[in-house]
Structure 1
Amino acid sequence: MAFEVSYNLESEQQFWDELDDVVTTRCQEHEIIDNALRSYLNVTTSYKSEYLQTDYSVAKCTYRLLQGDLFCAHKDYVRRQLIYCLLQEDDNPTLHMVAAFLLFDGRANENDPTFENMMEEGAFPRLVSLIQAPSVREDARLHQMLLELMYESSRIQRLKWEDFMAIDDSFILYLLEIIEGVSDDVQDPYHYPVIRVLLVLNEQYLVESTALQNDGRAPITNRVIKALSTHGMTYKTFGCNLILLLNRESETILQLLILKALYLIFGNPQTAEYFYTNDLHVLVDVILRNLIDLPSDSPATNALRHTYLRVLHPILTNSQISKPPYYKRDDILRLLHLLVTSGNHFAPVDDTTKRLVTRCTAVHWLQPTISVDASETNGNGSPTQSPIENVVGSGQKEIARRKLGMSMDGGSESTTSVLEVASHTEKPGVQTPSRGKDLVQ
């Protein structure tokens, strides 16, 4: 989208006045709409370094366009033109303004097809390419914006075959390297988008694996799990952050994405012992706390409880916790018993919860016949120290086989677990109910 208009603005007020004139343009012909969009991109990119130095100012600028007559009267056309601009443009300031528009438009208008149109036009492979481009990597704000756009568009749209083919091992390892290299604060504004991209890609692989299995096609390699299988010792920070986020996160969708990643990690023999042993203990504590904290008064909380229980089972069977000394054996049994005991403060227990609790309590080391020798060690040589050590107080199925895709046996409990874990979703912004908060109120 070539620029045809030049500006000479002497103050910030002139900038915003000029921007308002552009976004309130009333026109019908496509040529005039195109000229107005060129003017918008020209004025914003020309003065981006002066007046759009913060994320807030970029958002303010973007919402001027979203609320102006130019967009409101020609939404579909403007979206298409800016999607084409994303696909073709290489100028960083232009990419930043276009990505901001698509991100905020997609978030603000869930019923409009912004992200769907992006996927139809092949925007996902383009995002993969841009995120790795050296020029983009040097611009942290643009890089973060593109990561957020990838997350949001992938969260609600299933990837196509060609989208999966655009993801190679180097892309996943690059994202893991970013996590290793940035600050230890999981709330770092640059850190968080990278983690969320990895989580949503993992979910896409999980959902796709169930569809491929149903129609008989060969599975697609889950490159997130593959990277952890082959380079897990190098990229431990990602695992630490999953536990930190699960401990802090109150948004249901993020909890589900984390649980889906944990489900595959502990279900895969190559990654079942990916976590430091002490971090694993923290993870078990978090899961036990979150299970007891969930109220039992809605289908949504039941679905989340079922997912926690489906994740707990492979942790109990496949991780270091299945070896002596058995971590919090009595506490785990007590919690599982409480989940299926009516009275106390729980509503009547649903059949799925009963079945999943029974499955967990059937784990061999939770049986009464197990003799626990506290002097024993885990004996597997796994590291037991990590940066987050003190942050918070019958046969197994191989879930990930064949190229680290999903392999499921029809009719098995593992098959049911995979399908149900893959199907659990939630809208963004929905907060997970808390029994503790209810009691305080």
Structure 2
Amino acid sequence: MDQLKISRKRLLETIAVSAAIGATANGGLHRLALTEEDRKMREQFITWLKEANLEVRIDDFGNIYGRREGRNADGPAIALGSHLDTQPCGGKYDGVLGVLAALEVVRVLNDNQIETELPIEIINFTNEEGARFTPPMLASGGLANEFTKDYIYSRKDENGITFKEALENIGFLGEEKNRIRHVKHFIELHIEQGPILEKENKTIGIVKGIQGNNWVTVKVIGQTNHAGPTPMEHRKDALVPAAKMIIKINELTKEIDGLKTTVGKVYVKPNVTNVIPGEVEFSVDIRHEDNELRMYALERMKEQLSTIALLHDVEMDMTTDWHSDTVEFSPAVIQSIKNAADKLNYSSMELFSGPGHDAKYMASIAETGMIFIPSINGISHNEEELSLDSDIEKGANVLLQVVLDLAKALSKKQIGA
């Protein structure tokens, strides 16, 4: 079979249509899960799926599937996809690329009348970002039984709207029988969202797995008092030790190689200019590819924060809100991605993913792998997010070759054409 290539022009035009739905003034996207913007994008996506002669269905989590049958109609599917929802004022490639490149792969198969032994399914997962409903990756987690349906349906946004209500509001509450069940492989193409590929001058990232992570809430309780008459030595200012804790959390990354820590949210009470803060609450995101080292880091952090609290005569409470262990991807899929990159003469390297992705949960129900392409300056979840057209084309070509391999593509000669 001659080496097939995707249509760069068609793929970029498809991405451009997506980029206009929920577009921001600064060139990004604001398309939160199950909003009106998401509804418009979903309807456009379904139009494309139908134009590609795919069988469309929607499950009870709002996941959208487009199925292309294979010769073995009862065989396990090769699933491809990602998500079309974005962060507030996010980029136009994160998630979107994986869904629309999968669509382009199917279009190429159709153009060339290529039949595959196994069926192919494209998936758009609901609420991967977790920007509207937390935690992230709710719908793929539901497929993997990481979250119960009741738990997912009960998640509320900041306006008190539940996940189920939002699905109903935009007309995308499907049926449980439509969930993907019989799947052999899952492959997700994604921008790296980090600087490693660009720094190493590599075109393709062969993802070995996804780092484990914990979300922790730290609460520091001191004593609220008037800023004027209260002497410094009599204060129980919760903000001062909290600030020292945040610095210590950052310094912990120098102690444990490969550790990543982020304090993303800080709440100060009562948050008044002339009142000594009596309570501070902040979030910590902590990640490492080694589960044991990550848990050690959590214990070390708790020890250090407790010491700071004791020295400042304040109380400190630390609770884990969410955690997810490291996931390692399928060696067979990793090898297929490597073979594809080598076949196309694209430079590549193996790496772990720092962010979580739907592939994390799909790995529990299918042999899974991910393909990364470079992100300029490592920027993502930002309107300035950018991946070069040439890298998008190459990533999609690798995805195409992996699908031809894993779905067992048949030449016209093999199928008697």
Report the TM range for the smaller structure's normalisation: under 0.3
Tell me the TM-score normalized by structure 2. Answer: 0.28
Q: Which has a greater percent of helix?
A: 1
Structure whose CA Rg is larger:
1
Tell me the TM-score normalized by structure 1. Answer: 0.27
Higher RCO structure (Cα 8 Å, ≥6 apart)? 2
